[in-house]
Structure 1
Amino acid sequence: MACCGGYNTGQCCGGNQCPSPENNNDHNDDDVWADHDDLPQQTIASDSPDIVALRRKFAKEGYIDGKSQWQELGLQQGFDQGYPIGAKLAMQSGCILGKLQMIVTTYENEKDHELLKQCTEELNITNVLDSKYFDQTTTELIGDDHPAISKWRVLVEEAVKSRTSSSTTTID
């Protein structure tokens, strides 16, 4: 049901009662820019269609600008909170992968190549920063240490120890 714009007078063309924005069943909640002029600004019956169109245009632009600024602020705050945590986890993952790559290069063992492949997949930054590891309200890491990083830190340290203990010989 379209209205002729007579919200201020309460009458539509032909003397019918003009629907109010609150009880208009044709209003689509998904459409923020409804077909009828339900802007909060008061429209005067003498306003030209150009003025009404300009009000609608500026209200829409204001809404979009406000929403964009709000989103940018949220993104910046999220970045400010998350960057230090992400950088720390990326450094830890990089150190683990570096040690494992050193083992692979030094010992040329198929088992080590498979270990490196698995470690690379599990310590992929997308996996490390998965939301399941973080508190949704504070963005802090759940627990004292990241589970995947802890797992691979232990595995790589064991691999280093086993390689260094087996390669050292004692001279009598």
Structure 2
Amino acid sequence: MFRDDEMYPPPAGSRDDESREVEDDANDILDDVFGSEPGSPAFGGGGANDEYSDIPRLREKHETEGYRDGVTKGKAETVQKGFDEGYSLGAVLGLRIGKVLGLLEGVWGGVRSVKDESEVWDRERARLEVLVKEGREELRTESLFGAEWWGEDGIWKYDVPGEGGEVVWEDVAKAHPLVVKWEGIVDEEVKRWGLDLKIMDNRRGEDEVAERDATDKILDTPAQPTTGVQKKELAW
């Protein structure tokens, strides 16, 4: 006779359930030995990676902010100082160059106004026109502050009288080779045409005198603004 279980075998699903129960029991036994306690930290990769990935981002953020703060502070401390020193020198040079060009253009304008069309006057008009154009070209800012006369650190390369003692910006401007050249040319033209420049000084008003007093303060500004520095240490 056949037994019931032989005639009616259990469905396949029941065998799978039994095998799962056996595996679960085995896992429970091993979990008692190797499993983690309820309070143990998890070793999954998700949370830790997220936490560590923030470190480079924060470091970059702090470096960027520090760089910006450093640049801002550096500008406030050095750029303003350089501007102050450069302004003083530029003002003194501008006064001398303005006088040179003003006198040259004045002489040229006076000669052009002469109605005499003779060859002598035509030659003088042409000569002065060339002289004025050359002066404007050589006394441009780019020429005055070119690498031929100034180092990369802003220090003049030419000799300045009195460098052993206190040097003011007026000394630096007056000794500039281009200024020396063109002031000499102007002096020759003044003598050539018999001009009396003292007349202009006598016609100055009170406002001009006050303006000149303010200008004198700039002219007398030391070219070594930092106490104890020498020429080679001055940078602007």
Give TM-score, length-normalised by structure 2.
0.45
RMSD: 2.8
Tell me which of 130, 143, 148 is aligned to 1:114: 130
Residues 1:117 and 1:159: Cα distance change in structure 2 (over 3 Å): same
Q: Is the 8 A contact 1:86 1:129 kept in 2?
A: no
Q: How does 1:56-75 map to 2 (within 5 A)?
A: 56-75=60-79
Distance in 2 (alpha carbons) for counterparts of 1:153 and 1:81: 24
CA distance in 2, matches of 1:72, 1:143: 32
For residue 97 of structure 2, the aligned residue among 93, 97, 101 is: 93
- Residue of structure 2 equivalent to 1:79: 83
Q: What does residue 208 of structure 2 align with?
A: none
Partner in structure 1 of residue 188 of structure 2: 158
Higher relative contact order (CA 8 A, sep 6+): 2
Unaligned runs of 5+ in 1: 1-43, 166-172
TM-score normalised by the chain length of structure 1: 0.60
Does structure 2 conserve the Cα–Cα contact (< 8 Å) formed by 1:93 and 1:149? yes
Query: How many equivalent pairs are there?
Result: 123
Alignment of 1:22-61 (within 5 A): 47-50=51-54, 52-61=56-65
Change beyond 3 A, Cα 1:60–1:69: same
Question: Segments of 4+ in structure 1 off by > 4 A?
Answer: 135-138
The residue type equivalent to 1:148 in the other structure is L
- After superposition, residues 132-143 of structure 1 pair within 5 angstroms as 132-134=148-150, 139=155, 142-143=158-159
For residues 146 and 77 of structure 2, the distance between their equivalents in structure 1, rounded to whole angstroms, comes to 22
Residue 165 (structure 2) pairs with residue 149 (structure 1): no
Deviations 1:44-87 (A, max 9, x none): 98835345423321222212321343244322222222221121
Assess, with a 3 A threshold, how the Cα gap between structure 1 residues 54 and 137 changes in structure 2: closer, same or farther. Answer: closer
2: CA distance, partners of 1:152 / 1:66: 44
Contact 1:123/1:148 (8 A) holds in 2: yes
AA partner of residue 133 (structure 1): W
- Structure 1 or 2: larger helix share? 2
SS at match of 1:142: coil
Distance 1:102 1:92, change over 3 A: same
Structure with larger Rg: 2
SS in 2 for 1:143: coil
Whole-angstrom distance in 1 between the partners of 2:151 and 2:177: 14
C-alpha deviations, 1:64-119, integer Å up to 9, x for none?
32134324432222222222112101110010000001001000211101100000
Counterpart secondary structure, 2:107: helix
